[in-house]
Structure 1
Amino acid sequence: MQHKLIYILLTLASVITYGQVNLTLDADKAEYGGKDIVNLTIVLELNGSDLVQQTGFQLPDLSKFNIIGSGSVTNTVIDPATNTLITQKVSRIALEPKKKGKIKIGSVLVTVNNRIYKTEPFDVNIRDIVDRRSLAANTSNDVYLNMEIDDREVYQDQPTVAVLRVYSRNMDNLRKVKNIHLPQQDNINVHPINFEKSEIDPSGYGNMPSQVLAMFMVFPNEAGYVEVPGVSASVSSYSNKTKIVSNKVKINVRKLPEGAPECFKNAVGNFNVSVYNASKEKPEAKKPLNVVLKVSGEGNLPDMELPKIAASPDYEVFAPKITSKVTPGTAGMKGEVLANYVIIPKKSGIISIKTEQFAFFDPENKEYVDLGQKTLDLNAFSHDQILEARSTVEKVNEYTNNLLETVNTPVLKTTSFKVKEKSKFHWDILLTNIAILVSLFIAYLLFKNWQKKRTLVRETIPSKPLGSVAETEKEIRELLKTDINDYFGYLENLKDNGEYEKFFTTLEELDQEVRSQYFQASAAEFKTFLEKHKGASVAEEYNKLQQRVQMEKYNPVKSADALEELLKTIVNLYSQISK
């Protein structure tokens, strides 16, 4: 009798212990339509602080469904009546059925305190199923488009790859599918991978031949369930053209984790940021220079919001020109995006050009990465420091270039002989410059000798009065003066033809020509001359024109309207100066 009592007590203890763990698996309903989503709910309840869940939920075979979403939550409370710790874990799974009929859902397993618990299997009934392929025509030569997305659970702004496949019982119809239009929608960004047709697979769905038409990346830009619209195409024949549309696909877009840095915007992937000076000349105060901000890596590179160059009282920054070089990668679009800025230092000395802070989310490691600010330190020289730093050879080169530019015309382009600045010394350039100077000197001597001989055989003519110095200077200026209207017409042609680099080169030649008429070597000296002889207003207009020309010259985006206004200002000012 005593042994029977002990056995009964042990049995009751085991029953009580077993009742402390409750595991259930339920569906929201037993019968579904073809467009319905099957929602499964898994509930694990642990009554007692000594119970430990050792494994996660082991799901049954769900190969007859597409898993389009999942989530879980854990709640812990203390029962005030029994002072017992109750832990409840609830998981939800959203399924899309692949076929109709009665589908069996197996058991969910979990291990608690070295003991395995499982749920009871049950059946769900799918009344009908919407075929994932779209029907083009109800004939024996049906043509279907099917969009397939395997990874249907991604983060916001993380890509998923879609494959467009065509099916037809008649292989000849596969060659007639053309004009593929990828889906467009506000909550997704689509980038093509390729439109190369694959080899025909003779044993596709339902033993129908199939062929891959295109692959593309889908970047969802909002969280939640996002429906990717169907891809459209046309089936062309000799008699008619039929439009076909693929199926739509729902994807579960997970919201990005909390704790994002304040500088995070929408960059998802893995990126690097750098900033560098793209100008070949030394930085000079109040002169424009090109600064490039480069973002490289892989992710939503074409659609992300780029960091900008921060404003500063030390420099003036203009809107950038954006260029991108991206190709499809394994985890998004990879390559680099360049933002080309025009920056004008406002003072000489050390200038720090800083970018905005930049952060991105790494979906592989599921963490935010803050790259902070990038800084480019430049030493901006004054104009006098630039002149003092030139070597003797560079000064000789500049003198030769000025001489060639002075005698240049729009017909004879002697600027092709201009000496370009080099980083190292070249003897051949120096010898070429000396040979040009000697040749010009010999030509001058020959001309003077010929002029002298001609004077000897000429009849004696009474000499005219020499006149004043001002009259003599005016006569010399008239002799040197050329018709600047030729330059105006040439500049107009260059503007209309879009030859902007040649436009600014010819404008420099015009400025040199006008300055040479008044025997002024530099723009600063010419400004002083204009202020003295033409008035302060003309000198100020000339100074503003020079600054405007520099800004338009180094502006990465040339505007035809802006150059039209600039040319009008040039014609008015130089016509007034050259009177």
Structure 2
Amino acid sequence: MQYRLTYILALLLSVTAYGQVNFTVTPDKTDYNGKDIVNLTIVLELNGSEYNQQTPIRLPDLSKFNMIGTGSVNSGYMDPETNTVITQYVTRVALEPKKKGKVKIGSVLVTINNKIYKTEPFDIMVRDVEKKSLAASGDVYLNMEIQDKEVYQDQPTIAVLKVYSRNMDNFRKVKNIRLPHQDNMDVQPVSFARSEIDPSAPGNLSSQVVAMFMIFPNESGSVEIPAVTASLSSYSNKNKLTSNKVKLSVKKLPEGSPEGFKNAVGDFNISVYNVTKEKIEAKKPVNVVVKVSGEGNLTNMELPKILPSPDYEVFAPKITSNVVPGNAGIKGEILANYIVIPRKAGSLLVKTEPFSFFNPEHKEYVDLGQKILTLNAMSHEQVLEARTTVEKVNEYTNNLLETVDTPVLKTTSFKVKEKDKFHWNILLVNLLILLGLLAAYLIFRNWKKKQRKNEKAAPADSLGSVAETEEQIRETMKTDINDYFSYLENLKDSGDYQRFFQTADELDAEVRKQYGQDSTEDMRTFLESHKGTVLAEEYRILLQKIQIEKYAPVKSADALDDLLTGIVNFYSQISK
């Protein structure tokens, strides 16, 4: 009996020892200065599978702090000695103090198996804190969080802008986000895409990321990032939101920078190359590209230039970029396209300025030195002598095609570009074109000879009377009115409105000439006398519409369609 009681007592003691809840909060330290962030670690450990967490962890009143960020992780494992399931929840909270002095952090609460567990409150000491303004409008808060507050000069750091609110409907009302601007830093937007709403923010708040941007401080020391502003729009009013300000500790770049160092901070590479495929000729332009690629302050740094030389003339470059936001700055490539004109024939060296950068990851300078591109410029005579047989044939063909070009056959589209390799198909096409042109010329010449023979063999026609001759001339010179209609439609479709109205005036003059009337007023009187009042009134209204559309400041496609329809209908009726 005594043995059984001892066994039961030992079992109860083991249950008491291994079936328990451990709930603690520990700060990273108890004494902070104005630049420090208060990091709280909340640990909830459940020893045993019978425990059920019924509520999330509830933080105490943190109104004396700005919430910088929060995150949590959980893990679980089986203790092999006791066969007990141990579940651990770890939450990290980063806070920025608003006031100095002794600040009390209250108890953190959680409910497990209908029982409320709480941590012990504690005090921390904060020294020399500047008053921060956490943006608020009602229960909407705007907060700027900096990923890395200690960076080198010209090294980018990522900032995240979050909106906090108890009412999720307020998130869609936050608009017109304006990023900070200041002389001692450059700001590059990364994204204004909004994240999903996180309902688990501390203090019964929900949060949403509304913007991300990069900050490039260009001077060392303590740099204060100005507040980000936004507007909170509703049907009744419009309020302004202002975020908190953040201080960066910008470290000065180390001493001993290379000669070619300017302000490049990151990890880069440089190359220089010639993009002109043709032979390089003296006093002819050559395209030389200086490419800088990598990740860092790529869009803000000074690019290395091509050095001047008596051997060539260099012009200001055209800058193009292909960049995207990266994890450590802006990554991609920047291209500086220079026009270089060799002043003389021979070998010449195109040199760039020395280029170096500071790598913040390795905390050292990297000197890439000076890049040199060798160009072999040739005189005009040397370029002509260096041409191959195919290139000479291509040039002769191109000159011939340019000479015989007609509006019907755009032979310039057959012009041959210079190629590095020999292409037999191009030579064959050129020969076929030449043979075709020669055959067409011979056929045309034989046809002209036959025409001359027929004209000599044909009997001379009677000249007829003077009246008959004048009538034949008028019939020959008479313009088909349908040509005007087709031409007007083409001008309307191409948007050439000035010529459209000029052609409409010419059409009216042509029709008046058929009836022997000098002015539009005479024409209207003539129509009224011979064609009727209705047709004369249609003529007056049509002329009025033409003048209205002619001087309208904005031309409407529908109005011009209606006008063209009216012109075609009316002049088709009265034209002889």
Report the TM-score when normalising by structure 1.
0.58
Pick from 434, 439, 444: which aligns with 1:442? 439
Match for residue 171 of structure 1?
168
Does the 8 A contact of 2:348 with 2:376 survive in 1?
Answer: yes
The structural deviation recorded for 1:129 is 8.1
Does the 8 A contact of 1:222 with 1:253 survive in 2?
Answer: yes
Match for residue 134 of structure 1?
135
Pick from 451, 455, 468: which aligns with 1:454? 451
Pick from 345, 350, 353: which aligns with 1:348? 345
3-state secondary structure, aligned to 1:217:
strand
Match for residue 253 of structure 2?
256
Match for residue 97 of structure 1?
97
- Summarize the alignment of residues 57-456 of structure 1 with structure 2, pairs less than 5 Å apart: 97=97, 102=102, 124=125, 130=131, 133-137=134-138, 142-408=139-405, 413-456=410-453
Match for residue 8 of structure 2?
none
Structure-2 change in CA distance of 1:411 and 1:188 (3 Å):
farther
Q: Deviations over 1:481-513 (max 9, x none)?
A: xxxxxxxxxxxxxxxx9xxxxxxxxxxxxxxxx
CA distance in 1, matches of 2:188, 2:308: 33
The structural deviation recorded for 1:200 is 1.1
Does the 8 A contact of 2:154 with 2:265 survive in 1?
Answer: yes
Q: Deviations over 1:251-271 (max 9, x none)?
A: 111111111123211111111
Unaligned runs of 5+ in 2: 1-30, 38-63, 67-94, 105-122, 458-494, 496-576
Does the 8 A contact of 1:103 with 1:126 survive in 2?
Answer: no
CA distance in 1, matches of 2:131, 2:201: 18
For 1:200, the aligned partner's letter is: I
Does the 8 A contact of 1:132 with 1:146 survive in 2?
Answer: no
For 1:147, the aligned partner's letter is: M
CA RMSD of aligned residues (A): 3.0
Does the 8 A contact of 2:264 with 2:301 survive in 1?
Answer: yes
The structural deviation recorded for 1:459 is 4.3
Match for residue 15 of structure 1?
none
Aligned residues: 357
CA distance in 1, matches of 2:329, 2:400: 56
For 2:366, the aligned partner's letter is: V
3-state secondary structure, aligned to 1:239:
coil
Bigger mean CA deviation after superposition, 314-323 or 377-386: 377-386
For 2:322, the aligned partner's letter is: K
Unaligned runs of 5+ in 1: 1-29, 40-63, 67-94, 105-121, 461-496, 498-579
In our comparison, the structure showing a higher alpha carbon Rg is 2
Does the 8 A contact of 1:394 with 1:421 survive in 2?
Answer: yes
The structural deviation recorded for 1:425 is 2.3
3-state secondary structure, aligned to 1:203:
strand
Q: Deviations over 1:81-118 (max 9, x none)?
A: xxxxxxxxxxxxxx9636665159xxxxxxxxxxxxxx
3-state secondary structure, aligned to 2:203:
helix
3-state secondary structure, aligned to 2:276:
coil
CA distance in 1, matches of 2:415, 2:456: 44
CA distance in 2, matches of 1:103, 1:242: 32
For 1:400, the aligned partner's letter is: T
3-state secondary structure, aligned to 1:235:
strand
Structure-2 change in CA distance of 1:368 and 1:357 (3 Å):
same
CA distance in 1, matches of 2:407, 2:267: 53
Does the 8 A contact of 1:165 with 1:211 survive in 2?
Answer: yes
Q: Deviations over 1:328-387 (max 9, x none)?
A: 112111111000000001111111100001111111111111111000001111111211
CA distance in 2, matches of 1:31, 1:387: 80
CA distance in 2, matches of 1:367, 1:327: 25
